[in-house]
């Protein structure tokens, strides 16, 4: 819409099918373009801008990917895949230890920092009726995590029914921490990751201690 300034100017091209056969613009090409636009212009990227970056027009985007929510979901898949890769590489086949938990968290935080605006686009609302879309997209991280937790708890002889709650809780914790780290340059991902690992570790491994220990906490 921004290049349609002069009505008097003759159109560079009349509408119709392009000359050289099919426009070879696949779904992935559109999504690549979306990522470029978001990285360049920020998280409030319009479908028009994405289409322009891909060298096509809006209906192509709708045909190849879908609505804006679909674009966000597709990009969420990409981002969570990247986070999984980073996390796996950070763990490097080590067993599940406190320090590997910290590495896992740190890898997630750093991936978000590296894809700051993509993260904001993906977690950023679209208040439609699908404000629950954020959940749908979080589930891309939640589902494998819940599965891993469940397997591990089961093998360790611990109650596996906590897997879902914990997975949602941990993903939410990571998302909020990421948002915080993104927003405040003073926050150091390594330190934050270590502190969150400290918070989670003892609960994860099923440490027990006598209940009802009063510390005189006043919220």
Site for its own copies in 59-78 (CB under 8 A): none
Tell me how far, at minimum, the Cβ of 39 lies from DNA, in Å. Answer: 16
Residue with Cβ nearer DNA (22 or 161) = 22
User: Which of these ranges, 21-29, 158-166, 189-197, 200-208, lies near DNA under the rule CB under 7 A?
Assistant: 21-29
Q: Which does 19 bind (CB under 5 to 8 A by kind): its own copies, DNA, none?
A: DNA
Decide: is 216 part of the binding site for its own copies (CB under 8 A). yes
CA pair distance 185, 191, nearest whole angstrom: 13
Q: Which residues, 6 or more positions from 121, have their beta carbon under 8 angstroms from its beta carbon?
A: 38, 43, 45, 72, 75
Measured from the CB atom, the residue of 9 and 208 that comes closer to DNA is 9
Among 8, 10, 19, 209, the residue binding DNA under the rule CB under 7 A is 19
d(CA 24, CA 55): 11
Neighbours of 89 (CB within 10 A): 11
Alpha helices (H) along 8-132: 27-41, 47-54, 58-64, 68-91, 98-114, 116-123
Which is closer to DNA, CB of 12 or CB of 216? 12
């Amino acid at each position: 819409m921004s290049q349609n300034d002069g009505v008097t100017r003759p159109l560079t091209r009349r509408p119709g099918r392009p000359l050289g056969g099919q426009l070879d613009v696949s779904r992935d090409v559109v999504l690549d373009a979306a990522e470029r636009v978001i990285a360049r212009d920020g998280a409030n990227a319009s479908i028009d801008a994405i289409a322009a970056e891909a060298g096509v027009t809006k209906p192509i985007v709708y045909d190849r990917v879908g609505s804006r929510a679909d674009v966000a979901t597709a990009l969420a898949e990409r981002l969570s895949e990247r986070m999984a890769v980073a996390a796996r590489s950070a763990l490097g086949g080590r067993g599940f230890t406190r320090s590997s938990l910290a590495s896992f968290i740190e890898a997630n935080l750093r991936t978000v920092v590296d894809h700051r605006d993509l993260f904001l686009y993906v977690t950023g609302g679209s208040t439609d009726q699908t404000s629950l879309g954020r959940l749908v997209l979080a589930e891309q991280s939640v589902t494998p995590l819940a599965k891993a937790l469940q397997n591990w708890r089961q093998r360790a002889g611990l109650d596996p029914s906590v897997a879902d709650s914990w997975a949602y809780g941990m993903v939410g914790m990571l998302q909020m921490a990421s948002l915080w780290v993104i927003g405040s340059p003073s926050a150091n991902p390594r330190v934050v990751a270590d502190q969150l690992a400290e918070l989670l570790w003892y609960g994860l491994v099923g440490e027990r201690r006598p209940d009802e220990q009063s510390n005189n906490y006043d919220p």
